[in-house]
Amino acid sequence: MNFLTILPMAVVMVAGTQLVAAVFLASADRPRAASLGYLGGAGLVVAGGVTASWLVTRAVKVDVGDGLGRRAVESRIDVVVLALLLVLAVVVFLRRHTAGPPKWMSGLQRASPAYALRLGVLLFLAMPTDDLTMLTVGASAARHDLSWWHLLPFVLLTLALLALPLLALLLLGHRAEAVLPRIRDWAGRHSWVVSEIVIGFFVVLTVAGLLR
């Protein structure tokens, strides 16, 4: 496994409410400032989450590995990662009918950069799908002896996907008014399918690691 393998999990990170919020902020009174604040908050949580999972897994691998052996520890980590993936798949499936933006998002029209930053932090902390994804990505990277910097492309891709509404606004100008609602509707209704495909891909890789 290399850092390219974990990149698709960035789609799971932003699918649904997270991307919908980014669309609303790109349509706010101060779209650039609000969107950048949101990206900053999300970046702090994602970088911190995958780093914490990576550090804990590396520590467990070193401490337990002295008694069980390298292969046994890696197999146990794979089992934990597989369990996290299966739980994540169930959570995504159960939330698939949560269509349409929550009512509180209507207030994002007047969001300040500070409020958007707090929103990015709280939204990514409170979402079970994001918590499970960060745990999975960090643990998988540590299990395969990937250095910490291998997590950075995953964090950057997550932020790039979240920045799509802002990029649409900057590139399309007024024409973005027609594009942004389409992004919002797609993210609210169909992104769970893409998430399940990505999770399934990662499950296959993890099972293959267990069978070696």
The reported pLDDT for the residue numbered 73 is 75
Residue 141 pLDDT class (50, 70, 90 cuts)? very high
Q: What percent of the chain has pLDDT over 90?
A: 34
Strand stretches in the chain, DSSP E: none
- Does residue 100 register a pLDDT over 60? no
Alpha-carbon distance of 22 to 115, in angstroms, equals 13
Q: How far is CA 152 from CA 7, 47, 65, in A?
A: 10, 8, 26
The larger pLDDT score, comparing residue 66 to residue 119, is at 119
Spatial contact of 40 and 207, defined as CB atoms under 8 Å apart: no
3-state secondary structure of 148: helix
At residue 128, the pLDDT reads 87
Return mean pLDDT, the chain.
83
- pLDDT value at position 49? 96
Q: Assess whether pLDDT exceeds 80 at residue 146.
A: yes
Q: Is the pLDDT of residue 53 over 90?
A: yes
**Residue ranges of domains in the chain:** 11-211
Give the phi and the psi of residue 102 in degrees, each rounded to 5.
Answer: -60, 155
What pTM, to 2 d.p., does this model score? Answer: 0.84
Report the pLDDT value the prediction gives residue 23, as an integer from 0 to 100.
85
Is residue 156 within 8 Å of residue 28, measured between CB atoms? no
Query: Smallest Cα–Cα separation from 20: which of 113, 96, 105, 89?
Result: 105
Q: Among residues 132, 150, 11, which one has the least CA distance to residue 80? A: 132
> Can you give the pLDDT at residue 172?
74
Minimum mean pLDDT among 1-15, 94-108, 181-195: which range? 94-108
CA gap 170, 74 in Å, rounded? 45
